Structure 1
Amino acid sequence: MSVRTERRRTSIAIALTAGITAGLGLVLTGCGSDGASGAAGADSSATSGATPSTTSGSGSAADGKTGNAATGNDGATSRPAADSAHKTTPPLNGTSRNGLTISDGTRYVVMNGTRVDFGTAVRDLAWSPDGKKAAFVDGDGDLVVSNPDGSGRTVVAKNPGGQNWSHPTWQVRKAVPANGLPGLDNLIFAGRAGGVSKLYGVPATGHNAKPTVLRLGHESGEGTKPVPQTGNVWPSAAGVYGSSVYANADGQVYIRDDYLRQQGAPIGKGSEPAASPVDDESFVFVRSVGGHDHLFRETSTGTGPVFKDLTPNATTDYTEPAYSPDGKTIAARTPNGIVTLPADGSKAPVKVSGYLGLPAYRA
């Protein structure tokens, strides 16, 4: 993990400079809310024993979609069965006062203990780090930014047709003038055309802007290999420096370091990664173990990456993980709904919602 070891040394140097340069101390600190786990008052029954999902997390990395209407990466906008079932038997909501949201490809987003009508299909919802804006792919396949209630929609980038866009993520970074590091306010997403998936970037403040293919340079050093430019899906950007992780059709998770210079490298086998919002040194991802999709957490160390299975006793599939803003809690999807668990894996997952969809946290 020389890419992150090098950055850590550079970060220390910058921190010392910032201590001397007035006004720079706060630039290197993380941001976010208290991000409660959402387990309080939740259904204490585990999801074990549920029928395994027909879609594995590892398989979704290959084509950029999970193959169901809940996530909607395949363009489906039909209302899933769970959405209509709540009318007679309300499922456990679990989104009150903890920032958790659930989008399922319909126009309704479960959040704040209720369902909010965004006025258009909402696929792959992602929140800006400050929680003031939502980004998603709408019913026309365009990349859209809106207010938290769906109002004030702006088409950041219009789909030219014949493409499938999915999983936008915010890449936000404060400028560090002392190091000549510019600020970032971008959206990164996956685009598939003609069966080929690539990562694209566009300014988050754009209007009908044209996305550009994301540059994916490889880590420098003897023996390093170029990273694949195609087959890339499921990007997740977070942390302080604008780094991101993503999955590839080769079944591996990659890191994209966009600090002093852009470089990247494969980290390990897995899919559907989610970057930690509080540092640039760890992320959670999905890996198939013993016939089920488990959640793993990767942490960078001076001697290389360390992997921890957060769900070692899984009897169901845990997919599509998302971090709370404070980095202490992870939400994930199961065939029975949404669960949360401590990011350090110290406790087993707890079911908090019976809604089926993509979990995300809003600060």
Structure 2
Amino acid sequence: MRNSSVRNRFGTTAAIALMVSVGAVLVSACGPENGDSAPTGAAVPTGTAPGTAATGAPAPSGSAAPGGTVVNGTSAANHLTISTGTSTVALNGATADFGTVVRDLAWSPDGKKAAFVNGDGDLMTADPDGSGKVVLAKNPGGETWSHPTWQRATADPSVTAGAEALERFAAIVFTSDKGGTLRLEKVLTKSPGATPEVLTPHNSEGGGDPLPQPPQTGNTWANAGGHRGEIVYANTPTNEVYLYDDYIRPATRDLGKGSQPALTPDGEHLVFVRSVNGHDHLFTRSTQIDQKAEKDLTPSATTDYTEPAWSPDGRTIAVRTPDGISTLPADGSAAPTQVSTIKGLPSYRP
């Protein structure tokens, strides 16, 4: 299977060392629903990409693009952000300078914090404008950390978990590569400076035959969704995608061949990458245990579609291509359309 090429290209670091084509200084990163702080510096528009559906003129220097204006794929209205492995992040129709290398940017469920791996390999969090940076976990050395994701869980009246039990889901899960051995690790967001612990996907034992146990190493590219701490991830040696949920009791399910999985915000659907006829395609499927049908969203692909991300409403998928960022309807009703010439990792800020 050609999925190995996907892993080799982006591997466990997914750090894109490509510069944004414009310089940038600090920008207000206020989203449409989040009343964040005022800008602490001037904004620099990212420029309009060919084929970008702009609804107005580019924002003038010194201000972020209005919510209705799409500049090089990003606006306050569409929530799309792009990190490039440099200190700048494209969002809100402009670029924000985080003052440090930003790799594998991921947003908290409420959109008020960003998580990323910095140039020293540490796990950091920051405000959307790049201020308020905190080293959540210090890399001990000899490891490569990548692709953090914020777990999320809310109280369920039908489950007597309680607030104390839910604390374990206020965490960030990421990949640690130590000497070529890949494992998922986890650190609580309320414990800056804590030592991450290994997240061990497994199945709780039932009353009958022992349940099959998933691989403990080779795990990478975790992505959280839903409201019960669910995580999907890829296992490199088996080229399989797994869903892990330990809200009530540990349960891990094999969802089939693929890589670079991402869960919808409600946790009901999955998008992942699989090689078909020499190109990386996007597939979706339900996460329900009794629904296994898959759909190829890019059956006529003539390029590679990788690193997918869901929009907050679950209706749109952003994806990286060799030419920049494209988006497509999550139901597969239209082919991908390029929206940005910025080459980086797409993510959506809730």
Structure 2-normalised TM-score?
0.80
* CA shift digits 1:139-158 (9 cap, x unpaired): 11110011001100111100
Structure 1 position 242 matched with structure 2 position 242: no
1:251 paired residue number:
239
Matches within 5 A, 1:15-26: none
**Counterparts in 2 of 1:289 and 1:220: CA distance versus 1, 3 Å:** farther
Letter of the structure 1 residue corresponding to residue 231 of structure 2: S
Q: Is the 8 A contact 2:13 2:144 kept in 1?
A: no
Match of 1:317 among 292, 304, 316: 304
What is the one-letter code of the residue matched to 2:196?
Answer: P
Question: Percent same amino acid among aligned pairs?
Answer: 51
User: What secondary structure, in the 3-state scheme, does the structure 2 residue paired with 1:305 have?
Assistant: coil
Per-residue CA deviations over 1:288-337 (Å, capped at 9, x if unaligned) read 00000000002145634111101111000000000011111100000001
**Maintained 8 Å contact 2:3/2:274:** no
The 1:58–1:141 alpha-carbon spacing in structure 2 relative to 1, beyond 3 Å, is closer
SS of corresponding position for 2:212: coil
Q: Which moved more, 1:280-289 or 1:90-99?
A: 90-99
CA distance in 1, matches of 2:288, 2:190: 36
CA distance in 2, matches of 1:290, 1:156: 42
For residues 57 and 194 of structure 1, the distance between their equivalents in structure 2, rounded to whole angstroms, comes to 20
Partner Cα separation in structure 1 for residue 250 and residue 109 of structure 2: 22
Q: Distance in 2 between matches of 1:275 and 1:178?
A: 23
Deviation at 1:281, TM superposition (A): 2.9
**What secondary structure sits across from 1:102 in the alignment?**
strand
Query: What is the alpha-carbon distance in structure 1 between the residues aligned to residue 292 and residue 4 of structure 2?
Result: 27
* Superposed displacement of residue 265, structure 1: 2.2
Question: What is the root-mean-square deviation of aligned Cα atoms in Å?
Answer: 2.4
Of 135-144 and 295-304, the range deviating more from structure 2? 295-304
C-alpha separation between the residues in 1 aligned to 2:308 and 2:268?
A: 17
Q: In structure 2, list runs of 5 or more residues that go unmatched.
A: 25-43, 50-71
Asked whether the equivalents of residues 219 and 265 of structure 1 are also in contact (C-alpha less than 8 Å), the reply is no
Alignment counterpart, residue 12 of structure 2, candidates 60, 64, 89: 64
Aligned to 2:178: 193
C-alpha separation in 1, matches of 2:324 and 2:93: 15
Give the stretch that moved more between structures: 284-293 or 256-265. Answer: 256-265
Map of 1:137 onto structure 2: 117
Q: Which residue of 1 aligns with 2:74?
A: 95
Give the structure, 1 or 2, with the largest relative contact order (CA under 8 Å, sep 6 or more). Answer: 1
Alignment partners' CA distance in 1, 2:102 and 2:19: 17
The alpha-carbon deviation at position 175 of structure 1 amounts to: 2.5
Q: Name the SS of the counterpart of 2:21 in structure 1.
A: helix
Which range is displaced more, 351-360 or 174-183? 174-183
* Counterpart check, 1:148 vs 2:86: no
Name the counterpart of 2:99: 119
Written as runs of structure 1 = structure 2, the 5 A alignment for 1:268-347 is 268-278=256-266, 280-301=267-288, 303-347=290-334
2:61 alignment counterpart: none
C-alpha contact (below 8 Å) 1:255/1:264 kept by paired residues: yes
> What is the one-letter code of the residue matched to 2:137?
A
Is 1:105 paired with 2:71?
no
Partner SS for 1:83:
coil
SS of structure 1 residue aligned to 2:295: strand
Moved more, 184-193 or 213-222: 213-222
Between the aligned partners of 1:207 and 1:285, the Cα distance in structure 2 is 32
Secondary structure, aligned partner of 1:149:
coil
* Structure 1: segments with no counterpart, 5+ residues: 1-52, 73-77
What's 1:267 paired with?
Answer: 255
The DSSP-based 3-state class of the residue aligned with 2:222 is strand
Q: 2: distance between equivalents of 1:85 and 1:118?
A: 13
Q: Which residue of 2 aligns with 1:83?
A: 21
Give the AA of the match of 1:158. Answer: K
Q: Call closer, same or farther: CA 1:81–1:151 in 2, change over 3 Å.
A: closer
Conserved 8 A contact 1:273-1:285: yes
Q: Which has the higher helix share?
A: 1
Change (3 A) 1:85 1:108: closer
Go from structure 1 to structure 2 and tell me whether the alpha carbon gap of 1:255 and 1:156 turns closer, same or farther (over 3 Å shift): same
Shift of 1:206: 1.9
Distance verdict in 2 for CA 1:208–1:242, change over 3 Å: same
The one-letter amino acid of 2:143's match is Q
Match of 1:124, SS state, is strand
- Taking structure 1 as reference, are residues 254 and 332 closer, same or farther at Cα in structure 2, changes over 3 Å only? same
